Every structure is written in structure tokens, then in C-alpha cells.
Amino acid sequence: MQTLPPPADDAIAHSAHLREIIQEQLIAAGGSLPFWKFMELALYAPGLGYYSAGATKFGRGGDFVTSPEVSPLFAACVADALTPVLRQLGPEAQFMEIGGGSGAFAETALAKLLANDALPARYAILEPSADLRERQRERLQSRLPPLLFELVEWLDGPIQDAWNGVLFANEVIDALPTPRFSIRDGEVFEEHVALDGEGRFLRTDRPADPMLAAAVRHVERQLPEPFAEGYRSEVLAQLPYWLQAVAGGMGDGAMLFVDYGHGRGEYYQPQRRDGTLRAFRQHHVVADVFAHPGLQDITASVDFTALAEAGVGCGFRIAGYCSQASFLLGNRLQDNLALAESRAADELARHNLRQQVKLLTLPSEMGERFQAMGFQRGVEFGAAFLVGDLSHRL
């Protein structure tokens, strides 16, 4: 059995620095912070948080592999799905990717949109991490022809001016700092993070504020039975506000989200009594989300019912909801694979492409664990969601 090696000495020192900052904020706040605030600091504290510091995150040398790193076929299929939308919007359409990762998605998507004669007027990447932004810039500048690289722009915040286009996010919502709640004596409590007598992080509960309590009760009303005593999970009460903020001045266009998660009924199953929160380091699931802050990803699954509610609340219509496997198969995966195989150097390269497809689509890999949800306003996705509708799970 493969074991997770301990972090290097310099990484431990880095984590200890961030731990001290979090401890100081805990003390300044009166002894505890809401869990979402701990998660925010652990992931995004400038220069120290997991996504803000310089260690490799994506790919086989990092902590996890996302679909764009698995295969360029993923981005090619997404580009095919969004091509009809961009064509309907015309040459002034814009493309905004939230959280650009390694830059792998943008690299392939731009090339495919060029081949499809559906290039946007601007390809904007909303990336909060200065380190990741620089890595994306280096990759795209070295691999894209100047014509395509000139379209790329990095944003400090959402597009506030009026714009039409598409918004795409892969594995972004799962990394939003999420509140945690618990049920005690029939009341809603919020999970906080405090310190024990030796300065270690521990979880404790405080009465929930009205916004969180209302969000939990809203979820509970849609379930077959109330939450049991001691039930603990996550609810992203701020999701509608986040979505409205990142869309900014968006008018007509489409939004597409791909992430791991469940419909509400499956997310809040009675047997899932401690929610979906977990951490990742070097491709291992880490049970202790408080271990080594800044060195591990912290994530929670997406409640796709909540995402559907948020998108409709922003004035969009749901275009579709399906598994990643169904989405890719419905958006020319077989054609894109055949094209890639025809350009492959040898049989080994063709074999690798077929293995990539398996990783993206098999139920035991990413095919069912990840889902895609699209929204549209003033445009039509077309055939993007004709395969494998899962709307009955919402």
C-alpha cells in the first residue's frame, strides 16, 4: 500500500507560517473563526495559501489531475459544445474562463475554436492566484501562435461592463470556501475552528446566523425527512451571490460548469453524516483538513440543485445537466478522438489517447463522478446536452 510521504522541511516551514497567521486571526476574532474563513485562508491567503503559493498543483507531479490535464480531448469537446453559442453571438462575443488551472484548457480550446471558425473577440481568464496566472501566461505564450495568444487577457475581477459571451468553469465551485453546519437539539449550528490547549486546530459549533440557518432549512424542506440529530454537512449559501458577481455585466450568452458533486437528494443522504469535505495532497485523500494548511487542497462536492437554483436566479434557463461522460460523448468525443489518432505519431500515442478517454468517461474514473451543467440566455446550446439527461436528480 502506497503511503503519503511527509512534506519537505521548507514546505513544513511554509505551512507553519500560514498556521501562525490563522492562529492570530482566530485569537483576534475571539477564539474561533467560521470554517469557511479557515478554508479561505488555507487556500487563498496571499503568498501562502494553497492556490496562492508556488508549489505545483495540477497534473501527475502535483496533488490532483483535472480533466484538461488528463487529455486535450476534454477541452476540444467543450469548445465544440460552446461553438454554436459563440456563432450566435457573433464576432464581438467574449469567452471567460474562471480559474485557468495550468492553462491546458485555454491552449486546446482556443485552437479548437479557431478550427471551428468561432474565435471570441477576447479570451479572459479570471485567476486570483498570481503564481498560477504567471504559469498560465508562460505556457500559452510558448505554445500558442501569436494570433491566439493576443486574444488572452488576465482579469483582476469579473467583467463589469456589458458583455455577451460564454463563461466556463471546471472544478471551481468545489474550491469555494464553504460554510459547514450541524444539527443540535433540532437547531442549526455553524462549524467554527478553534484552538486546543496546545495550539492545534479543532472544530467547534456556534449558533448559525439567520442566512446560514435559512439556507439549511431551505435544503431540508426538499428532503424526504428532516436532518437527524448530529448531522453535519456543507451548504454554500453564498453561491447565488458568487455566481451573480462572476457573471458581472453578462447579457446574452451561456454558462457551463463541470465539477464533481450530486443532486440535492443524493448530496444530503442520511448516511452521509459528515458531509463531503476532504483534502488532497499528492493524489492522496487526507482525512484531516486541518493538517499542513497551505500544502493541501480542501474541497467539498457541489450541490448541483443549488447551482441550478443560482443560475435560474441570475436570469438564465437551464440548458442541461448530465454526467461528464454523457457530455463528452454528446459533443463529438468520438470525432475528436479519431482526429487526434490520425495525427498521432505512433501506436503508443494512439493507445495513450484511448486510455485518456477511459479516464474521462468510465464510471469508475471521472465519467460519472463529474457532472456538467449549462445555462443559456438569448442563445441556444443546441445539441450539447442531448445525451444522458440527469435533471430528474435535481
**Taking residues 121-132, what's their average pLDDT?**
92
Within the chain, what is the greatest distance between any pair of CA atoms?
64
Please determine, for residue 235, whether its predicted confidence score (pLDDT) is greater than 70.
yes
Q: In degrees rounded to 5, what are phi and psi of residue 288?
A: -90, 100
**Residue 55 pLDDT grade (very low, low, confident, very high; cuts 50, 70, 90):** low
The pLDDT value given to residue 269: 96
Mean pLDDT of 224-250: 97
pLDDT value of position 1: 41
> What pTM does this model have?
0.94
pLDDT at 54: 57
pLDDT band at 7 (very low <50, low <70, confident <90, very high): confident
Indicate whether 62 pLDDT > 70.
no
Q: What is the model's pLDDT at position 58?
A: 46
* Res 249 pLDDT > 50: yes
Q: Taking a C-beta distance cutoff of 8 angstroms, is the pair 360, 74 a contact?
A: yes
**What tens digit of pLDDT does each residue of 143-160 get?**
999 999 999 999 999 999
Q: Supply the pLDDT for residue 2.
A: 53
pLDDT above 80 (res 283): no
Nearest Cα residue to 16 out of 389, 220, 294: 294
- Decide which of 132 and 268 is more confident: 268
387: left (phi over 0), alpha (psi -120 to 50) or beta: beta
| Total of domains in the chain | 1
Q: So what's the pLDDT on residue 59?
A: 45
Among 3, 76, 106, residue whose Cα is nearest residue 356: 76
DSSP secondary structure code for residue 57 in this structure: -
Question: What range does the domain containing 285 cover?
Answer: 1-394
- Which CATH number fits the domain that encloses residue 379? 3.40.50.12710
Q: How confident is the model at residue 371 (pLDDT cuts 50, 70, 90)?
A: very high
Helices (H), ranges, the chain: 9-28, 35-44, 67-70, 72-89, 104-115, 130-143, 146-149, 210-221, 239-247, 264-267, 304-313, 324-329, 333-343, 347-361
**Rg of the chain (C-alpha set):** 21
Q: What is the end-to-end Cα distance of the chain in Å, rounded? A: 38
Q: What is the pLDDT of residue 44?
A: 92
List the grid coordinates of 374: 449549462
Q: What mean pLDDT do residues 118-126 have?
A: 98
Q: In the predicted model, what is the mean pLDDT of residues 270-299?
A: 91
Predicted local distance difference test score (pLDDT) of residue 11: 86
